[in-house]
Structures are given as structure tokens and as C-alpha cells.
């Protein structure tokens, strides 16, 4: 299994510019010749590029230093040094790049092939042919070439998904994502089965899709670091819709309404924006007979607050089609609202 890494720190340095050349022509029958030193080449830029086929920042835990090449030095006979090639550093879609020293966000790469120049290469130095003046026909000076930039960057990955599935451990999130998409997360009957976020693509209609992500189960106090979920909450910050999984099983001896309120308090404590996202409640494990009474109580609560609820069973598949189309409808409404809003 590939280890999921969503944070990394890297050191980068762009290439130095090549030196300008001091040179004079040496031609037969030309007694004084003339300056013909070429310019140095520009150093290579350091460029971060988003790649769809990358899923984590694991590579940057093993390689943390990146240096672009310097430009070639200028030569005689007006030969300019070659510019160095830019150095490209691949990252997954959804990577935020920060400058460690200033804390500034340099970029947020969300599209395949999107690039960001994070360090400019040094300019090549001028050769002595550039310094000819009316009073100095044989200059003996040239530029040394500019130095490249050095930085330490912080890379932070926030997964790109339309729908985020949240809930307490063992609520059935992993089973749900495995039933509605091609994702195959690890599933077991112990807490914190999900140790990394899982992404799945859900197909519907005539070739349309949406991306869904489930994160490790949250527990009370998650926004303060309790459990595993806090380190992954960032991965649902970009989502448009949250599917709140509620476990109706009497075996857990949990109160469904209390679970819903506790989970939303955690979201609110972490981020008001996250708390304000549209939600759908998926009441899971209705295949268990004793869950029916618990479902009634939860439905009354949701009806009172005008929250859409879908009774489902991730294990048997009951209600999953209705849930899927409920998500599609909500996503469509959000897209229509986005199109209606005037852009800045």
C-alpha cells in the first residue's frame, strides 16, 4: 500500500546566470581587433507543476532538495552561453505552496498541468562586447551573472472532491464509497479503519461523474487534535457537499441525534466555512431491525430542521441510488447558483 503524505517541506534553488566573457578578436591584418565576448546564459527557473496521476506528496519526503542548472558562460567570437532548462517539480492536484519564511501562499494548483514559477533563475552576465562606448572601444569588463533564488517551501495537499463523507468511526463511510464508486478502501470492524482519505469517482446519467472522498472517522474533540480526523479535515474544505453518515445500529449504543450535533460542533469549531456547507444526512444500517425506531427519531429531528435525510444500508445497497441522485440534485443546484452569481 502506498503511504499517503499530505504535507512536505522542500528546499529549492534556481540556477545562477552564466558569466559574461571578456574576449577580443584576433584576426590577421586587424591590428587592434575588437571586443567579442558573448553573454552568459540565464539560469533555470524552478517550476511547480500539478499532475493528475499523483495522489500524495510522498516523493517529496524522500527528495527534499531541488536545484536548477546554471546558465552556460559566454565565450569569445560573440558566442552567448546557452540558457539552462527549467526544473519542474511535480505535485498532486490540490497542492498549496507556501513560503516558509514569510508564510505567504505562493500558489494553489488545482488543474492538471497548471504551473507556478517559485524561483527565478539568475540572468546571464553581459560580455565585454556589450560595454563598447564612443570613448571605450576596447572594454575589459563583463558581468558575473545573477544569482538564483533560494527558498524553503511548504507543500500542503487538499484533496479535490465534490462530496465529502463525514461521520464517527465505523459509521460505514468506507463501505459506502466502495459501493457507489470503484474505490476499494480497507474495511474492518474496528475503530479508525480508514487511516488515509479515500477518493472515488461516481458515475451517473449519460457519462457524468462526481468525485467523493471519505476521511478518517472524527470523534468529539477532533478540532483540538483528538483522534485521527483533525489532520485530514483540510481534505473536505474544498468539497461542495457534505454527506453526514449516522450509524443507526443499536450495538454502538450511540444516540443518532447527539452524533449529528456533536459532529457539526466539531466542524464549526474547525471552520465556519466548513460548517456552512450544504449537508445531506445518510442514516446507515437500516438493514438492522432494531434501527427502525432510531431512524424515526432522527427523521423527526431532520424534518424539523429541514435537513434532507436518506435511509440507507451500505452493506446491502438499499437506498444508495436515492442517495446518489440526491447528491446529484444538490450539486446541480449549487452549480446553477454559481453560474447565476456575478463574477468579480
Instruction: Give the torsion through C-alpha atoms of 266, 267, 268, 273, to 10 deg.
Output: 170
CB atoms within 10 A of CB 193: 17
Predicted confidence (pLDDT) at residue 248 exceeds the cutoff of 50: yes
Poorest-confidence range of 5-9, 106-110, 227-231? 227-231
Over residues 68-92, the mean pLDDT reads: 94
Predicted confidence (pLDDT) at residue 342 exceeds the cutoff of 70: no
| Residue 125: partners with Cβ closer than 8 Å, 6 or more residues away | 17, 18, 19, 20, 39, 40, 74, 142, 143, 144, 145, 146
Q: Which residue has the higher pLDDT, 52 or 148?
A: 148
Give the three cell numbers for residue 47: 517550476
Predicted confidence (pLDDT) at residue 263 exceeds the cutoff of 60: yes
| Chain mean pLDDT for the chain | 83
Predicted confidence (pLDDT) at residue 308 exceeds the cutoff of 60: yes
List domains and CATH numbers for the chain.
Answer: 7-128+139-157 (2.70.210.12), 163-340 (3.40.50.300)
Q: Give pTM, 2 decimals.
A: 0.69
Per-residue pLDDT, 221: 47
Per-residue pLDDT, 230: 54
Q: In which band, very low, low, confident or very high, does the pLDDT at 1 lie, cut at 50, 70 and 90?
A: very low
Per-residue pLDDT, 44: 96
Predicted confidence (pLDDT) at residue 272 exceeds the cutoff of 70: yes
pLDDT (tens digit per residue) in 108-165: 998 999 999 999 999 999 999 889 888 888 888 999 999 999 999 999 887 777 888 8
pLDDT (tens digit per residue) in 187-227: 434 343 444 667 778 888 777 888 888 876 554 444 444 44
- Separation of alpha carbons 210 and 216, rounded Å: 20
Q: Phi and psi for 291 in degrees, rounded to 5? A: -80, -15
Q: In the 3-class helix/strand/coil scheme, how is the chain assigned residue by residue? A: CCCCCCEEEEEEECCCCCCCCCCECCCCCCCCCCECCCCCCCCCCEEEEEECCCCCCCHHHHCCEEECCCCCCCECCCECCCCCCCEEEEEECCEEEEECCCCCEEEEECCCCCEEEEECCCCCCCCHHHHCCCCCCCCCCCCCCCCCCEEEEEEEECCCCCEEEEECCCCCHHHHHHHHCCCCCCCCCCCCCCCCCEEEEEEECCCEEEEEEECCCCCCCHHHCCCCHHHHHHHHCCCCEEEEEEECCHHHCCCHHHHHHHHHHHHHHHCHHHHCCCEEEEEECCCCCCHHHHHHHHHHHHHHCCCCEEECCCCCCCCHHHHHHHHHHHHHHHHHHHHHCCCC
Per-residue pLDDT, 231: 60
Per-residue pLDDT, 196: 61
Strand partners, 7: 156
Per-residue pLDDT, 184: 54
- Separation of alpha carbons 191 and 196, rounded Å: 13
Q: Phi and psi for 19 in degrees, rounded to 5? A: -75, 145
Poorest-confidence range of 58-67, 98-107, 250-259? 250-259
Per-residue pLDDT, 137: 83
Over residues 311-337, the mean pLDDT reads: 89
Q: Which residue has the higher pLDDT, 5 or 297?
A: 297
Amino acid at each position: 500500500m502506498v503511504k499517503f503524505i499530505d504535507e512536505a517541506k522542500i528546499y529549492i534553488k534556481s540556477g545562477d546566470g552564466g558569466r559574461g566573457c571578456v574576449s577580443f578578436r584576433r584576426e590577421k591584418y586587424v591590428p587592434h581587433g575588437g571586443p567579442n565576448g558573448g553573454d552568459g546564459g540565464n539560469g533555470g527557473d524552478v517550476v511547480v507543476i500539478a499532475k493528475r496521476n499523483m495522489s500524495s506528496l510522498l516523493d517529496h519526503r524522500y527528495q527534499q532538495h531541488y536545484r536548477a542548472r546554471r546558465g552556460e558562460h559566454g565565450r569569445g567570437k560573440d558566442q552567448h552561453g546557452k540558457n539552462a532548462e527549467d526544473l519542474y517539480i511535480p505535485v498532486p492536484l490540490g497542492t498549496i505552496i507556501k513560503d516558509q519564511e514569510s508564510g505567504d501562499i505562493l500558489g494553489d494548483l488545482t488543474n492538471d498541468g497548471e504551473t507556478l514559477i517559485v524561483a527565478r533563475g539568475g540572468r546571464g552576465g553581459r560580455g565585454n562586447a556589450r560595454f563598447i562606448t564612443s570613448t571605450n572601444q576596447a572594454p575589459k569588463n563583463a558581468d558575473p551573472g545573477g544569482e538564483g533564488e533560494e527558498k524553503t517551501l511548504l507543500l500542503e495537499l487538499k484533496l479535490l472532491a465534490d462530496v465529502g463523507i463525514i461521520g464517527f468511526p465505523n459509521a460505514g463511510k468506507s463501505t459506502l464509497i466502495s459501493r457507489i464508486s470503484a474505490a476499494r478502501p480497507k474495511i474492518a470492524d474496528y475503530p479508525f479503519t480508514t487511516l488515509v482519505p479515500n477518493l472515488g469517482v461516481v458515475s451517473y446519467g449519460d457519462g457524468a461523474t462526481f468525485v467523493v472522498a471519505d476521511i478518517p472517522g472524527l470523534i468529539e474533540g477532533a478540532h483540538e487534535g483528538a483522534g485521527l480526523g483533525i489532520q485530514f479535515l483540510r481534505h473536505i474544505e474544498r468539497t461542495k457537499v457534505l454527506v453526514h453518515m449516522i450509524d443507526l445500529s443499536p450495538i454502538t449504543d450511540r444516540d443518532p441525534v447527539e452524533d449529528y450535533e456533536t459532529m457539526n460542533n466539531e466542524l464549526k469549531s474547525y471552520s465556519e466555512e466548513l460548517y456552512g456547507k450544504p449537508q445531506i444526512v445518510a442514516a446507515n444500517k437500516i438493514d438492522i431491525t432494531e434501527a427502525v425506531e432510531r431512524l424515526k427519531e432522527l427523521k423527526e429531528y431532520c424534518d424539523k430542521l429541514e435537513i434532507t435525510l436518506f435511509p440507507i444500508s451500505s452493506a446491502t445497497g438499499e437506498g444508495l441510488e436515492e442517495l446518489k441522485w440526491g447528491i446529484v440534485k444538490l450539486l446541480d443546484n449549487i452549480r446553477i447558483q454559481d453560474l447565476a452569481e456575478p463574477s468579480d
